[in-house]
Amino acid sequence: MSLFKSLPDDAIFVRRDDAHHLLSAWSRHSFDLEDRSWPSVEHYFQAMKFHDPDLREKIRLAPHPKLAQRTARWHFWKVRRDWKKIQVVVMTRGIYLKCRTHPEVAEALLETGDKTLVENSLYDHYWGCGRDQRGYNYYGRVLMDVREKLRSEALQSA
> Could you tell me if residue 148 is inside a domain?
yes
> Could you tell me if residue 5 is inside a domain?
no
> Could you tell me if residue 1 is inside a domain?
no
> Could you tell me if residue 69 is inside a domain?
yes
Q: For 10-36, what is the mean pLDDT? A: 92
Domain total for the chain?
1
> Could you tell me if residue 4 is inside a domain?
no
**pLDDT for 91-100, tens place per residue?**
999 999 999 9
> Could you tell me if residue 108 is inside a domain?
yes
* Residue 101 backbone zone (phi > 0: left; psi -120 to 50: alpha; other: beta): alpha
Q: In the chain, what percentage of residues exceed pLDDT 70?
A: 96
Alpha helices in the chain (DSSP H): 41-47, 53-60, 65-74, 83-101, 103-110, 138-157
Q: Is it the case that residue 3 has pLDDT exceeding 50?
A: no
* Alpha-carbon span 54 to 144, nearest angstrom: 33
> Could you tell me if residue 85 is inside a domain?
yes
Burial class (CB in 10 A: 0-12, 13-18, 19+), 140: buried
Distances, alpha carbon 138 to alpha carbons 37, 116, 157, in Å: 25, 12, 28
**pLDDT for 86-120, tens place per residue?**
999 999 999 999 999 999 999 999 999 999 999 99
Range of the domain at 126: 12-157
* Alpha-carbon span 9 to 132, nearest angstrom: 15
- Residue 36, strand partner residues: 33
Domain CATH code at residue 134: 1.10.357.40
> Could you tell me if residue 66 is inside a domain?
yes
* Alpha-carbon span 158 to 145, nearest angstrom: 20
Output the pLDDT for position 25: 97
